[in-house]
Structures are given as C-alpha cells and as structure tokens.
Amino acid sequence: MKNCSVFVIWTNPLFLESLSALLNHPEIQLVGASSDFSQAQNEIAVLRPDIVVIEGNLDDNPIDCTTMPILRSGSRVIQMSLGDNELNIFQHQHRTLVNAEDLLTMILEEGDLK
C-alpha cells in the first residue's frame, strides 16, 4: 500500500488540530494546510496531494467557481461538515461518519484507488 498525501482547507483551528491528530498514520502524509482558499489552490497545484479535505457546511452549494480548480487538479476532494457528521466525496459519493476512524478508513481506501 502506498502513502496517501493529504491537504486540508480549514476555517476552524480546532478542526485542523483534530484532523492532524487523526491523520497521524504511517500511510498518510499531511503535506499542507491553509485557511486561505486562494493560497490553498496555489499550494495544491504545486503539491498535487492525493486527497484534499475541505471543512465546510454541506447545506451550502459544495461545488462553486472557487472549488472547480481543485476538482480539476486530480486530487480527490472531500468536504466535511462537523455539524451533521456528513461528508461529500466529489467523485459522486456521500457518506455518514459514525466515528472519527471512518474518515481515516475512507482516506486510505481512496488512496488505494489511485
């Protein structure tokens, strides 16, 4: 199994801290994180992570003009909503998280698909 690189776009520092702790796994490498969406797009273009995790509310339109360049980057994009334990995987999947390890399992599965 290969290592899976992950980049995080966050709005809440506690989200980033919690996700960083969760992603402390031998097969996952957190390659970057940013709370600035424009800066994140530039870093993603350079780093080309396998997965991009975006903290956001799923009630909002998840795909808009600012998200499209990230979707075209080749990275799998996961949008997480802490309010309802839901996440969207922009490759036409939707899952409900039961516990924190569900996200870890899903990231490792996605890494194997590349």
Inter-CA distances, 22 with 60, 64, 74, 105, Å: 26, 28, 24, 11
What is the reported pLDDT for 81? Answer: 72
Token pair, residue 22, equals 């969760």
What is the reported pLDDT for 43? Answer: 94
What is the reported pLDDT for 38? Answer: 84
Can you give the CATH number for the domain in which 80 is found? 3.40.50.2300
Residue range of the domain that includes 16: 4-113
**Which 8-state DSSP code applies to residue 19?**
H
How much is the pTM?
A: 0.72
Alpha-helical runs (H) found in 23-114:
37-47, 68-72, 100-113
Could you tell me the mean pLDDT of each successive run of 10 residues in the chain, 114 residues long? 86 89 92 92 92 75 58 79 64 65 77 48
Number of domains in the chain: 1
